[in-house]
């Protein structure tokens, strides 16, 4: 099973999340899937991630190198149909069982879409045939769990409200309360009246 948290965030919130990730010693933050026939982007600052997301990117990934699980590159060749549609021959995928993924498609049907932070547990990674035993054994799973749990707590503590069990981060709350956005609640558009204040216990 993976570790995962679903939350609502505007680009400013996701930029702050990347800033929190950059505090992890030895972390690399990057584009997991490259554009066709281009290298994967590696980010050095939160501002670079903000610009990347503002251009419509829907995710970024992080690898805390101190936990092990070497980052590898895999080249994927597109099918003939995909090559014709994309104008490229393939892409590069960066892989590690210790990758932390942030899904950040902020706009769906003109709404703020749920974002998520996700990583594998040891049990979940072992159930995935794409990871070899050597790669899995090379990860300090307790350390990875501690890092991700700390980031998840930071998201919850920084969020002034929630929708059901999902934290709503500060910039997303502001956009909602100012009438500049609504939330996409898995098929339903939701306004500020549906939010609950995050209690200290909920954080």
Reference 7, options 161, 188, 189; nearest CA is: 161
pLDDT over threshold 90, residue 117: yes
> Which residues, in sequence order, are CB contacts of 82 under 8 Å at separation 6+?
none
Give all strands (DSSP E) within 141-186, no chain letters: 161-163, 166-168, 183-184
pLDDT over threshold 60, residue 202: no
Q: Is the pTM of this model over 0.85?
A: yes
Q: What angle do CA 30, 120, 66 make, to 5 degrees?
A: 55
Question: What phi-psi label fits residue 186: left (phi over 0), alpha (psi between -120 and 50 degrees) or beta?
Answer: left
Question: In the chain, what are the domain boundaries?
Answer: 2-158
Convert the pLDDT of each residue in 75-112 to its tens digit: 999 998 888 888 889 999 999 999 999 998 767 677 88
What's the pLDDT at 129?
66
pLDDT over threshold 70, residue 151: yes
| Average predicted confidence (pLDDT) for the chain | 91
pLDDT over threshold 60, residue 38: yes
């Amino acid at each position: 099973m993976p570790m995962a948290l679903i939350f609502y965030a505007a680009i400013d919130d996701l930029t702050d999340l990347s800033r929190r990730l950059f505090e992890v010693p030895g972390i690399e933050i990057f584009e997991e899937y490259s554009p066709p026939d281009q290298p994967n982007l590696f980010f050095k600052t939160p501002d670079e991630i903000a610009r990347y997301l503002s251009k419509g990117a829907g995710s970024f990934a992080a690898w805390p190198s101190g936990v092990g699980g070497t980052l590898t590159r895999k080249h994927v060749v597109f099918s003939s149909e995909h090559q014709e549609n994309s104008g490229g021959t393939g892409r590069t995928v960066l892989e590690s069982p210790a990758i932390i993924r942030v899904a950040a498609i902020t706009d769906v049907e003109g709404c703020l879409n749920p974002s998520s932070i996700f990583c594998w547990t040891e049990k979940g990674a072992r159930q995935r045939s794409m990871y070899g035993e050597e790669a899995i054994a090379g990860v300090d799973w307790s350390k990875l769990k501690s890092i991700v749990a700390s980031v998840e707590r930071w998201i919850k503590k920084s969020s002034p409200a929630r929708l059901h069990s999902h934290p709503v981060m500060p910039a997303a709350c502001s956009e909602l309360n100012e009438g500049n956005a609504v939330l996409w609640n898995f098929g339903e558009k939701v306004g500020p009246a549906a939010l609950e204040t995050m209690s200290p216990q909920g954080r």
